[in-house]
Amino acid sequence: MKRDPWRLAYHLMPPDGWLNDPNGLCEANGVYHVYFQYAPNTPAPDGRMARTWGHYAGPDLINLSFKGVPFWPETLDRDGCYSGSALVEDDGTIDLYYTGNIKEAGDYDYIHDGRLSNTILVKTADGGRTYSDKHLLFGTPDYPKDCTRHVRDPKVWREDDQYYMVLGARMNDDSGAVLFYESLDGVSWRLLKIEKTGEPFGYMWECPDYFEMDGQPVLAFCPQGLEAEDFCFQNNHQSGYSLLSGDLRGKQMFGPFREWDMGFDFYAPQSFVDDRGRRIMIGWAGLPDKPYGNPTAQRGWENCLTVPRVLIKKGNRILQKPISGLKRLRKNPSRPDGEGRLTLPDASGDIEIAFADPASSWDIQMGEGVCLHYNGCIVRLALDEKTGCGRDERLARLDGVRNARLLVDRSILEIYLNDGETVFTTRYYADFETDRRLEMKFNCAGADIYAWEMQP
Ligand code: FRU
């Protein structure tokens, strides 16, 4: 695994084994914490052991180091310490809320029977070195009776002296929904309401997140079971947000659902506000029930997180912008030669492009197997058979492209168009048999292009 050329230079990946959702994102006492769904040793989600959490921490979101596993599956979470979030108390204590998954042995469908999800609280007073015992807050017998056994992924926050929690759920009529709870102390919780769209929008909503931007409530969630359409819902499960109208304590109406990311690999993002007041989101650059075999699995590890993205509201859209600190990793600036050629010697880089005319067409070739193309109305990200492991293309309709930022990192590519209005995240598996040189070719007449290599 250590010699694998697809290991990443500046994206968070598991030290070994399997990673999925980001969990427990927070800043406490000047330390940033990024927990994640983790199955150590085994590059499969339910391989040799049930999933638990892994922990990265550091003074900023660039210099993070792996701190180990905070807790392991026991009785309350026997079949997985599933996803959850962090709330930082005024005294700096971190409260971690998560789902303890239990699957009973037997002939169950695990939708209506045979599964329990416990909502659990663990506290750490010293920034993650020691953790309290697990405290069971409530569980399956306490959820509303019209929920199936799929209820999970608590996101917790505080407004004034009130605590709130949102959980994702699958209802008995096979519609996705979220459950809102409230509490005065973060320990005793009461159901506030169930929210869902007027018409069912998928059968299950995972990993919800709720926050306000410029006074407007936002519900982010991951609906499962949507039919693919021409320019949306192209992955097997989706991830996006709706702006809501109305107050949290009353009935809220859903605005249109917008996908966070148009690429092949994006799911289960979580956001938090740091001490500088930035709302920062990190996503899993992957998907559950993945429709393709990830070749890094044979090399002992699988999956990674996106870079942290600052969220900015513009009109009724939320823009995503890579955190500014990433620029500190830039080195060796360069520009494409007269023929538009540029080499990234270690397949890791950060590239900024300002297009001369937003309406003109262009294309960018990365190595043999990755092509990004714009024809004046549609952006097409195409992977060849080998580089894409059988995945072919992703499309987005765009009325002009003013600028692009490409974050290239060995086996992940993040593309930010129009200041982060449209984003594509994808893993790609170029042929790095002899070295990691990545040749790029820009056919972008008149564009201003600046590139940097990136330090690990
Ligand atoms: C989303 C998810 C969550 C669950 C976790 C388990 O990817 O399925 O709903 O808590 O992963 O790892």
CATH number of the domain bearing residue 313: 2.115.10.20
pLDDT at 46: 65
Q: What is the CATH number of the domain that holds 446?
A: 2.60.120.560
| Residue 180: strand pairing partners | 166, 193
Structurally, the chain folds into a number of domains equal to 2
The answer to whether the beta carbons of residues 154 and 99 sit under 8 Å apart is: yes
Q: Does 50 sit in the ligand 1 pocket, CB within 6 Å?
A: no
pLDDT at 42: 80
Contacts of 411 (CB under 8 A, 6+ apart): 6, 8, 296, 427, 428, 429, 430
Ligand 1 atom with minimal separation from the 82 CA: 10
Ligand 1 atom with minimal separation from the 222 CA: 1
Amino acid sitting at position 115: R
How close is the Cα of 82 to the center of ligand 1, in Å?
6
Residue 107 annotated in active site: no
pLDDT at 43: 76
- Judge if 304 and 393 occupy the same domain: no
Domain presence at residue 11: no
Domain presence at residue 3: no
Ligand 1 atom with minimal separation from the 288 CA: 7
Q: Residue 352's domain spans which residues?
A: 328-454
pLDDT, one tens digit per residue, over 255-276 is: 999 999 999 999 999 999 999 9
How close is the Cα of 375 to the center of ligand 1, in Å?
37
- Judge if 248 and 380 occupy the same domain: no
Of 4, 16, 21, 289, the catalytic one is 21
Domain presence at residue 5: no
- CA dist 306 and 267 (Å) reads 10
How close is the Cα of 322 to the center of ligand 1, in Å?
24
Domain presence at residue 73: yes
Ligand 1: which of 18, 19, 20 to mutate, judged by most atoms within 8 Å of the beta carbon? 20
Is residue 404 over pLDDT 70?
Answer: yes
Sign of the Cα torsion 323, 325, 330, 335 reads positive
Q: How far is CA 221 from CA 175, 207, 210, 218, 396, in A?
A: 13, 6, 9, 10, 20
- CA dist 85 and 33 (Å) reads 11
Q: Does 279 sit in the ligand 1 pocket, CB within 6 Å?
A: no
pLDDT at 433: 80
- Judge if 381 and 308 occupy the same domain: no
Q: Does 38 sit in the ligand 1 pocket, CB within 6 Å?
A: no
Q: Does 288 sit in the ligand 1 pocket, CB within 6 Å?
A: yes
Residue 293 pLDDT class (50, 70, 90 cuts): confident
Q: How many CA atoms lie within 13 A of 365 on its CB side?
A: 10
Please name which of 422, 443, 421, 256 lies closest in space to residue 366, comparing C-alpha atoms.
443
Q: Does 206 sit in the ligand 1 pocket, CB within 6 Å?
A: yes
- Judge if 115 and 168 occupy the same domain: yes
Ligand 1 atom with minimal separation from the 287 CA: 7
- Can you tell me the mean pLDDT for 245-263? 97
- Judge if 356 and 263 occupy the same domain: no
- Judge if 334 and 311 occupy the same domain: no
How close is the Cα of 359 to the center of ligand 1, in Å?
40
- Judge if 318 and 333 occupy the same domain: no
How close is the Cα of 401 to the center of ligand 1, in Å?
34
- Please name the residue that has the structure tokens 């799929």: 150
- Judge if 112 and 170 occupy the same domain: yes
- Judge if 317 and 343 occupy the same domain: no
Gyration radius of the chain over CA positions: 22
How close is the Cα of 374 to the center of ligand 1, in Å?
34
Q: Does 82 sit in the ligand 1 pocket, CB within 6 Å?
A: yes
pLDDT at 89: 97
Is residue 382 over pLDDT 70?
Answer: yes
Q: Which of 322, 354, 377 is the last residue of a domain?
A: 322
Which protein residue's CA is at the shortest distance from atom 12 of ligand 1? 82
Ligand 1 atom with minimal separation from the 153 CA: 10
Q: Which of 254, 288, 322 is the last residue of a domain?
A: 322
Q: Which of 322, 354, 382 is the last residue of a domain?
A: 322
- CA dist 138 and 421 (Å) reads 39
Which protein residue's CA is at the shortest distance from atom 6 of ligand 1? 82
pLDDT, one tens digit per residue, over 11-32 is: 999 999 999 999 999 999 999 9
How close is the Cα of 280 to the center of ligand 1, in Å?
20
- CA dist 256 and 209 (Å) reads 16
Rounded percentage of the chain residues whose pLDDT exceeds 90: 95
- Judge if 351 and 270 occupy the same domain: no
The answer to whether the beta carbons of residues 382 and 371 sit under 8 Å apart is: yes
Whether this model's ipTM surpasses 0.95 comes out as: yes
pLDDT at 410: 98
- Can you tell me the mean pLDDT for 99-126? 96
The answer to whether the beta carbons of residues 39 and 18 sit under 8 Å apart is: yes
- Judge if 194 and 147 occupy the same domain: yes
Domain presence at residue 261: yes
Q: Does 394 sit in the ligand 1 pocket, CB within 6 Å?
A: no
How close is the Cα of 21 to the center of ligand 1, in Å?
7
Ligand 1 atom with minimal separation from the 267 CA: 7
pLDDT at 163: 98
The answer to whether the beta carbons of residues 71 and 134 sit under 8 Å apart is: yes
Which protein residue's CA is at the shortest distance from atom 9 of ligand 1? 206
Residues 359-379, buried b or exposed e (16+ Cβ, 10 A)? ebebbbbbbebbbbbbeeeeb
Domain presence at residue 290: yes
Domain presence at residue 9: no
Domain presence at residue 10: no
Is residue 195 over pLDDT 90?
Answer: yes
Q: Does 268 sit in the ligand 1 pocket, CB within 6 Å?
A: yes
pLDDT at 48: 64
pLDDT at 45: 67
pLDDT at 279: 98
- Judge if 375 and 238 occupy the same domain: no
Q: Does 418 sit in the ligand 1 pocket, CB within 6 Å?
A: no
